[in-house]
Amino acid sequence: MLILRKWPFDGFISSMLGAILLAAVFPSLGASHGILYMDQVTTWGVGLVFFLNGALLPTDKLKAGALNWRLHAFVQLSTYGLFPLLGVLIAWLLGRWIPSDLMLGVIYLCALSSTVSSSVTMTTIARGNITGAVFNATLSTLLGMLLTPVIVSFYVQTGATHFSISHAFFAIATNLLLPFVVGHVLRPLLLPYLKPWMKWINKIDKTVIVLIVFNAFCDSTLSGLWQAQGFYLVGQAALLASIMLALVISLTTWLSRRLQFNKEDEITAVFCGSKKSVANGVPMAKMLFGSAMPLGPIVLPIMIYHQLQLILCAMLARKYAQRPAAQDAE
């Protein structure tokens, strides 16, 4: 019972699993160009999510945390350097046994930005550098709009899958970056009206993600992907996500100690440098790959990685929180 109480299996994960099951039973309901026009609904939903994210961006906290450049460089190089290198290594070692769509999903996972909410939450629980976590998580999100399609394009252009980097940048600019910038410019006007509704606003991004997952798995079911691969594909994705998380947690911990970060900065480096954002990843996949590729196996690794990182990082946060206060300055 103690294990069950500690298991972070929240309503968001349950909703995504429910969407997958519904897609398996009624795939035509949420298919692209279907009766619910789910592809168009999710496109507008993604724009709304990034508009609200821009309006809620805490500029003052970003300015306060901007000076710790060693920590910032470490986190961003982990997110957009270490991760992609590990992804390419895994593709080189295991790619011949992994379906190409799933392997693309692993590379896409490696190219994504870090999380915001869970990185800051875990850092807070572990008594880490909270300001540094806010700065790096937000900076990672902004950089991801540029770097994620570039990293994916480097991998895809070496394979047989067609990927248009110009189309990807246009989709990101119009559907993600533009709403984000407009929202942030209007932040002073909108924030007083948004604050009373924060409880509901926090549910919008999760709702849009669940709808995108539903749409993606409906399309995959209709294409026959799951009848051909089924649990074998899910097992492969879970194994790859587990390997990736174990490697990144181990390496970021070891490197931050070699660089002699104090304990607070080490915590921020590990939590921000090892996380990947399902909140940005699933909507961005829709923009990058659209209907040209099956989204189901592409978003599967990030969905599994998201759950695994919550479990492991929650355990690490509790362990860090138990340290004596004197270690913080070491």
Structural domain harbouring 300: 11-318
The pLDDT value recorded for residue 234 is 80
Does residue 323 fall inside a structural domain?
Answer: no
Are 229 and 101 contacting, i.e. CB atoms less than 8 angstroms apart?
Answer: no
Would residue 247 count as lying in a domain?
A: yes
Q: Is 3 within a domain?
A: no
Query: Is residue 327 domain-resident?
Result: no
Whether 60 is in a domain gets the answer yes
Q: Could you state, in chain order, the average pLDDT of each consecutive group of 10 residues for the chain (330 residues)?
A: 46 75 83 79 80 75 70 94 93 86 90 81 81 82 87 70 61 75 87 83 76 76 63 84 94 95 92 86 78 74 83 83 65
The CATH number of residue 102's host domain is 1.20.1530.20
- Does residue 326 lie within any of the structural domains? no
Rounded to an integer, what distance in angstroms lies between the CA atom of residue 299 and that of residue 98? Answer: 15
Residue type, 45: G
Token readout for 79 is: 């997110």
How many CA atoms are closer than 13 Å to the CA of 50, on its beta-carbon side?
26
Is residue 202 in a domain?
Answer: yes
If one counts the domains in the chain, the total is: 1
Q: Is 78 part of a structural domain of the chain?
A: yes
